[in-house]
Structures are given as C-alpha cells and as structure tokens.
C-alpha cells in the first residue's frame, strides 16, 4: 500500500524520494529522479501514483505530468561513457546526486537497500520503495518517463535496435541487431554481450 511513512519520519525537513531507471540496459544512460511532494499534493498523488513498472504507459505519462506540476523535481543522468568508466553502481549514485542537487533536499528516502554514496544528508533506504513510499513512487514514474522518451529519440537515429520499445534492454531483437549492425556510441562497452563483441573485433 502506498503511503509516506518514511518521509514523515523526517518531520520539518525537505524530504526527497529518489529512484533510478536504466541500470540493466545495454544502451543509453542511467537516469535518476528526486521528488519532493508538498503536503498540498499528497492526497492527490496518493490516489494515482504507483510503481512505474506496474502502470500503463498512458497512466505513467499522466502521473508524470501531475508530479511535475505539483512537486519539486530533479532529474540526473550518468552517461554511457561514465557508466563504462566508473561502473554502473557508481554511475547510478552519480545520477542520484545530480538529481538531488536540483531540489535542495534536506533528507532522502531512496529505493533499494543502499544509501547514496557521496550524499551527506540523512537517508533511509526503502526496499521496494516504489510500491510503498509516495515520493519514491513519484520519482520512479518521472525517471522512467524521462528515460523512455530519451530512448525513443535515440531510436530515431538508430532505428535497427528497437530502443523505442525495449528502452535499450537486451531483448532478442536488440541482440540480433547488435550482431547485424554492430555497436553504437550509445552502447555500454562494459556490459556483456557488448564487451564481448568489442573484444572479438566486431564493429
């Protein structure tokens, strides 16, 4: 059940919910969002928000628009180059810090079981937070809608890989396109099977 019990534990502070999307794909950046839900928007968002993975695409877009209109929102990215240089976990923390810097959070509730490294305000980890904590659920929706839109735009220049539908994940069609058309600048060379293709000298 969606609520904001963890955020309410930081009474009087600006509490941001943080979530990421795009840790697993073979292509594209990792994206994080930070959302501060004002009291005035709480009931409205509790009625419509939820885990972004469980909402329909149309519902996600509607919730995203409502969150952006009613809340304080920050979005951070870590690029493919940064992912390959510092690894996906550190790149995820980097994207989260970039999102948080935009909202001036005084405390954080973050999805998962790891606190954000390099961020010094109080933090609480919430496993499955996108299903139970309002601000995290809102951040989950914002991050997914933003990244999905980004991958649709990248797909316009690279139509063979199906990014508009697979969001850069290693679907059968994406893997086949890698074999046929090779690796692009948007692929993560530190991720198998992209790394294996590069090591084998495939284009």
N-term to C-term CA, the chain: 48
Asked if residue 4 lies in contact with residue 135, where contact means CB atoms within 8 angstroms, the answer is yes
Residue 164: predicted pLDDT: 98
Predicted pLDDT at 5: 76
The tens digit of pLDDT for each residue in 107-154 reads 999 999 999 999 999 999 999 999 999 999 999 999 999 999 999 999
**23: DSSP letter:** S
3-state secondary structure of 124: strand
pTM: 0.95
Q: Report all structural domains of the chain as residue ranges with CATH numbers, in order of start.
A: 5-159 (3.30.420.10)
Query: Hey, which residues does 20 pair with through a beta bridge?
Result: 32
Residue with tokens 């994406």: 174
Helices (H), 14-158: 42-46, 57-70, 80-86, 88-101, 129-132, 134-157
Average pLDDT, the chain: 95
């Amino acid at each position: 059940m969606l609520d904001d019990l963890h955020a309410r534990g930081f009474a009087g502070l600006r509490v941001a919910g943080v979530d990421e999307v795009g840790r697993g794909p073979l292509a594209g950046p990792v994206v994080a969002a930070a959302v501060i839900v004002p009291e005035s928007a709480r009931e409205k968002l509790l009625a419509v928000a939820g885990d972004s993975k469980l909402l329909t695409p149309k519902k996600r877009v509607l919730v995203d628009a409502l969150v952006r209109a009613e809340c304080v929102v920050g979005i951070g990215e870590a690029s493919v180059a940064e992912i390959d240089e510092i690894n996906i976990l550190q790149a995820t923390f980097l994207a989260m810090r970039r999102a948080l810097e935009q909202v001036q959070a005084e405390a954080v509730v973050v999805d998962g079981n790891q606190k954000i490294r390099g961020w010094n305000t109080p933090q609480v980890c919430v496993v499955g937070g996108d299903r139970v904590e309002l601000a995290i659920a809102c951040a989950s929706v914002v991050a997914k809608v933003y990244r999905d839109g980004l991958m649709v735009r990248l797909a316009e220049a690279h139509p063979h890989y199906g990014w508009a539908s697979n969001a850069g994940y290693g679907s059968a069609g994406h893997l086949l396109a890698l074999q046929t058309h090779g690796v692009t600048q948007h692929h993560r060379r530190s991720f198998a099977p992209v790394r294996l293709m590069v090591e084998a000298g495939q284009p």
